[in-house]
Structure 1
Amino acid sequence: MIDQFYTPPELARFLVGCLPDSFTPSVIADFAAGEGSLLRAASRRWPEAQALANDLSPATVRLLKAEHPNWIVSNSDFLLDRSVRSSALESWAGRVDLVLLNPPFSQRRRTPHQVVYKGETIGVSLAMAFVLKSLAFAHDGSYVLAVLPDGCLVSKRDEKIWLKLKSDFHVEILRDNANSTFDGVRARTSLVSISGIRVPRMPLSLKDGFAVSGPSCVVKRGQQQMHSLLPSRAAAAVPLVHTTHLVAGQVIKSGPRIVPKSHVCGPALLLPRVGRITTEKVCVLEPGDVVAISDCVLAIEKISAEEVRELRRAILENWTVLTDSYRGTGAPHITLERASLALSRIMSADSAGGSEWKSSNSEGEFHEPASGPASVIAFGERSQSRSPVRLSMVESNRARSSAARNRSR
């Protein structure tokens, strides 16, 4: 259950009044809108702006729609990408000029939220998770203004992420609020502004986060269970690849032929999902090869043959990042989510070593697609281009040679 303490009108007016006279937003959003006082204050100052409201409560959403027919009102769990994608928010990423937030301060029985910032996984509070995810909807020149509990500003949990945000953006505490600001609760809060936003500086994702750009490659889990396979001689049958068919960096297509629910087309990179992982088990599926994979195998596809080999090299050079993601009290295994996060960290480390992994996002980002046992991952270094660019890996031999010389000194 989320605590609900709505924003007093006076506080909403003050927050909106902190923005410069020269700032004229076209799109204003509140992703935890509640009664809508923040958006109402903003709409009075900028009546021509489009208001975008979201709330978790269906009853609150019905009320907002009835009272404000010109607003775009969404009913989604803002921290769950599946929920966002099925809502009115889905098309607004990177289009919001002003984000106003009074996020939930606490949620009972909820573990810390995990975010990935510049390849590093960091636990944050619920309020901070709302702030971070709202950045995916911003663009160059946007503002994010938030009412935050003082615990978010001074707690050890959020200390690390604040240091990173302050190094990338302009963060300003606008005002400290009195304990009696919110009816029904004594809570110290502050008004915080985040500005100086630049799209190439958006290096974060939540574990179930929102990726700003389109998908770059797909991490897929096999669907065929070994105990229920049905060999077939049909024309549509393809070889089944199990972990035993991943040998010395190559995919051995000697398994039984089956008619699969889904298949993997080369070029792709296959590796075990379950069991002991070794470097020889990270295998290249050659271009043109079509196979089915067991539920003990992961496939990374939708990238070129050159990119597949570069990805394998990067994994081997940052081996412990992947192996540390295999866990379990019985047979070690890796989830789609942990695999995607590990790959993001590997790409960040590899970029620092001299290779360029270019995409429209700035660091590793992950989100879960609408359906199916797969994850979409986009990773890359900071790019000055704002146009959507699908993942491409360009090997910089000169940069790598220079990095190798520096390491040998």
Structure 2
Amino acid sequence: MIDVHYTPNWLAKAMIELLPEGTSSVGDFCMGEGALLEAAEARFGQAAAYFGSDIDARAVRRARAAHSNWVVSLADLLSVSSLKSSRAWSPDSFDAIVLNPPFSYRGGSGALIAVPALGTIRASPAVAYVDNALRALAPGGTAVLLLPANTLSSERDRAWWAYARGRWSVTVELTSGPRDFPGVVARMAVVRLSPRLDGVALASDPMQAESAWGRPLSIVRGRVPVHSLGRFSVGSDDGVPFVHSTDLRGDLQIHGRPRVVARLGTRGPLVLLPRVGALKQEKIVVWVDAAPIALSDCVFGLRVPVEQVVILAKQLRDRADLISGRYGGSCAPYLTISRLSELLSELGWDPAHVGAQA
């Protein structure tokens, strides 16, 4: 017997907000009541096409009656023959996949799935559903999944997640506490799979994706709020220059900038980028001097040895469009430390968050 835990509307909306702008096709192959596709349609409207399937014939009938513009089909996501006969599922086809799969079988023991370079492995029901759903994701596409949080760390699913991290950027976007999700005792997690920034489609050995590699890099989050600048200001010959996100353009100019107490300074060399606001190539700037500067709380500083500053800056500038997709928020876009760490790891660095000290 398959469990049924439909996605509440507020969570469906939050999951759809994680999809990129310009999404033109959305698939949900465990659509249930259709909350995820409805949220997608509310966001993308007629600019996208919507495809849904479910193993429950009643859910399929309701979706067809309520949404004549959707392509809806009766299908079992764990059955290859069922998927092949479905009008709503096709391999390598969808810009976006959203999924809240069943995750427990009464009396069952998971499912067998075939993983490249690993052969056939046994995985949890939730991962088995996800694996089949992702076969419909187009290259460069994004998937947003609602899963039990323990599947991310369970021994049974470890090999599959290593494979996934070799193919996509895997980010945990939201988590719930016990019983926060209606009818479910387990903690839940919203997981986003998006294109890797290094352009790798699939690691030759997926288990290598678990091991950290690359050059050390320190992430410094600025700590001086603009609205509190007056509290820390000092004379023009004292302290250290203050750098805000509006100063990030071309060659960083610090002459004439306000100066704040020296204890708020962060030593260079640094590659600077906005924590808050739209990211563009020209907003990624270099501070090669070892002298400290004070960073606004809207700025990230990435500290690497001086001989690696230009390498890092070029990596980020070349991928500015992809990186901007990692910024979230319903108002001003912002980048979290966890997302920044994830993308830097994908680019071959070994990031660590440090305090904004000189």
TM-score in terms of structure 1 length: 0.47
Q: Is the alpha carbon distance of 1:150 and 1:200 closer, same or farther for their aligned partners in structure 2, counting shifts above 3 Å? A: closer
| 1:7-406 map, 5 Å | 7-20=7-20, 23-48=21-46, 49-90=48-89, 92-120=90-118, 121-196=120-195, 201=202
Letter in 2 for 1:69: S
Q: Is the alpha carbon distance of 1:199 and 1:138 closer, same or farther for their aligned partners in structure 2, counting shifts above 3 Å? A: farther
Q: What SS is found at the alignment partner of 2:140?
A: coil
Distance 2:161 2:185 in 1: 24
CA deviation map 1:137-188 (0-9, x unaligned)? 1112200100000121121110121122112210000011233333223221
Conservation of the 8 A alpha-carbon contact between 1:127 and 1:148: yes
Partner of residue 401, structure 1: none
Distance 2:172 2:76 in 1: 27
Distance 2:95 2:157 in 1: 25
Distance 1:186 1:154 in 2: 17
- Give % identity: 34
Q: CA deviation at 1:199?
A: 9.9
Letter in 2 for 1:113: A
Q: Is the alpha carbon distance of 1:202 and 1:5 closer, same or farther for their aligned partners in structure 2, counting shifts above 3 Å? A: farther
Unaligned runs of 5+ in 1: 204-409
Distance 2:174 2:130 in 1: 17
Unaligned runs of 5+ in 2: 205-358
Moved over 6 A (4+): none
CA deviation map 1:93-117 (0-9, x unaligned)? 2110000000001112333212222
Q: What SS is found at the alignment partner of 1:84?
A: helix
CA deviation map 1:270-306 (0-9, x unaligned)? xxxxxxxxxxxxxxxxxxxxxxxxxxxxxxxxxxxxx
TM-score in terms of structure 2 length: 0.53
Aligned length: 201
Conservation of the 8 A alpha-carbon contact between 1:140 and 1:199: no
Conservation of the 8 A alpha-carbon contact between 2:18 and 2:144: no
Conservation of the 8 A alpha-carbon contact between 1:149 and 1:188: yes
CA RMSD of aligned residues (A): 2.1
Q: What SS is found at the alignment partner of 1:156?
A: coil
Conservation of the 8 A alpha-carbon contact between 1:77 and 1:84: yes
Distance 2:123 2:29 in 1: 18
Q: CA deviation at 1:56?
A: 0.5
Distance 2:52 2:162 in 1: 29
Q: CA deviation at 1:202?
A: 9.7
